Amino acid sequence: MDDNDDNTVLMPGTPASTSTKSIRLSYFQGDGQQQRTMAFSRAFTVGREESCDVSLQDNTISREHVRIYLEGTQWQFEDLKSTNGTYIDNQLILSGPVESRTVLQLGVDGPYILLEPPAPVQPPKEQPSDAVAEVARRYFEADGEAEAGEHTMLVRRAFKQAKKKHTQRYVAVISFVVVLLISSLSVVFYQRDQLAELKELTLSVFYDMKALEIQMAKIETNIDRNTELSLDANYPESRQLRVQLAEMELRYDTFLQKLGVFEKNMSEEERLILKMARVFGECEVDMPADFVAEVRRYIKKWQSTARLKKSIVRALDKGYPAIVKAAMLEYHLPPQFFYLALQESSFKAKTVGPPTRFGLAKGMWQFIPATARRYGLQTGPLLELPRYDPRDERFHFESATRAAARYLRDIYATEAQASGLLVVASYNLGENRVKELILQLPENPRERNFWALLKKYKIPKETYDYVFYIFSAAVIGENPGLFGFEFNNPLDLS
């Protein structure tokens, strides 16, 4: 590093020769080549915006990436919720003290900045009186009457000094213990604050991912409705958004690991429940405290009946899992929506639902007539009769499955705001009542999701049971043997 004063830029009013509080900052490229050195005596920000005190033009840096400030006599740094994070020795750090020659990396592959705070001023050491100290060592147990000679007075003085030092030592030990306790509590509070900041950052990344998914789903819905458009030709940024989403997912997984969400002592059952929450587009960090226990309750309901096993065996015999998986993946939806059809019809090909004011729901996906026609399915001449009709495309599993995937994708991108469990709730026969509640939530993924719906409203029992039966069946399906079922994961088609 070049320490030449010509490279040093001082803030106004901070002479280089007299400032005892100024901190030096050196900026390095990824290849280690130094670019510039500056000094600051007050708080300053580093980022990509020109309004930052230190503006670095690098795409890995956020507009306002990190803030360095003086707290008392200690310089501190704080990550400003940057997209790519701030690292020390490859470890994500949200905030902390600036020690001697602290190197911060802005983003995993971003540039480095070197921070050099001023050296602490060492207080002068006290020089004890050698003569008094020597007498204290020889006569510290001496005592006498009021009348004493000069030599005795000197001994007494020495004794008092020894006694005073003994008291000081005792006070020092007590003080040290108190300081140690305070320091320990400070560490606890600091770690708690760090975890709170990391959790908030994790939530921000997750719901940014959801917002990006909504954007991509709307693009793809537009393509789907206009056959003259080509996704690659007209929306090349869609593939870039998919790449960006994959990078955000990796960052989110890293934050989950640091938060210890999947602890080593966690049961495999709870691990699967958390995994399935993520699959259905809900945040593991933000779930209600009693959600895991509630899912376990519905798992026990499945264990008390043969319906799940019979439905899965029926679907496997007909090859339905492969058809559902292919359709859902084509529309970037989780294949676990397979269990929605299971709940609707138990995979019975000729299923006809009860009469409703919207008409008869038919087929394994239980489409009502209007929704079926909206998604390209022809209804048959027996439309108003509660009978199987081979001319009704709702009974054609492949066609109905593709229509269901498109319908689910549209709900996902609009009222459900990328919440898979809200999609399930909306698909239920009581969807109009549920939709009224959903649409009362703010239109953004962080405030409109299944967790938010449960916290704010009491949803109809029919819909509540519907969602939890589907979700718990999906959990069982990931590892049936763990829950005592004698069939393989129907969606594991490798």
Q: pLDDT of 393-425, one tens digit each?
A: 999 999 999 999 999 999 999 999 999 999 999
Decide: helix, strand or coil at residue 12. Answer: coil
DSSP β-bridge partners for residue 45: 67
Decide: helix, strand or coil at residue 97. Answer: strand
Q: Report whether 100 contacts 116 (CB < 8 A).
A: yes
Of 280, 305, 292, 294, the residue nearest 408 (C-alpha) = 280
Q: Which residues of the chain have pLDDT under 70?
A: 1-20, 29-35, 121-173, 175-193, 226-237, 429-432, 494
Distance from C-alpha of 150 to C-alpha of 17, rounded to nearest angstrom = 53
pLDDT of residue 480: 97
Distance from C-alpha of 98 to C-alpha of 104, rounded to nearest angstrom = 10
pLDDT of residue 131: 54
Cα 376 from chain centre: 39
Long-range CB contact pairs, 352-358, < 8 A, 24+: 352/386, 352/387, 352/388, 353/429, 355/386, 356/429
Q: What residue type is assigned to position 107 of the chain?
A: G
pLDDT of residue 12: 36
Lateral strand order in the sheet of 66-71: 54-55, 44-47, 66-71, 74-79, 95-97
pLDDT of residue 10: 41
Distance from C-alpha of 417 to C-alpha of 472, rounded to nearest angstrom = 22
Measured CA angle at 373 (ends 368, 379), to 5 deg = 75
pLDDT digits (tens, 9 = 90+) for 211-266: 888 888 888 777 777 655 554 544 566 777 888 888 888 888 888 888 888 877 88
Decide: helix, strand or coil at residue 102. Answer: strand
Of 329, 471, 349, the residue nearest 408 (C-alpha) = 329
Q: Report whether 307 contacts 298 (CB < 8 A).
A: no
DSSP β-bridge partners for residue 460: none
pLDDT of residue 478: 96
Distance from C-alpha of 478 to C-alpha of 64, rounded to nearest angstrom = 42
pLDDT of residue 170: 63
pLDDT of residue 144: 46
DSSP string over 103-117? EEEESTTS-EEEEEP
Distance from C-alpha of 190 to C-alpha of 96, rounded to nearest angstrom = 9
Q: Is the pTM of this model over 0.75?
A: no
Cα 409 from chain centre: 24
Look at the block and give the residue holding tokens 């003290």.
97
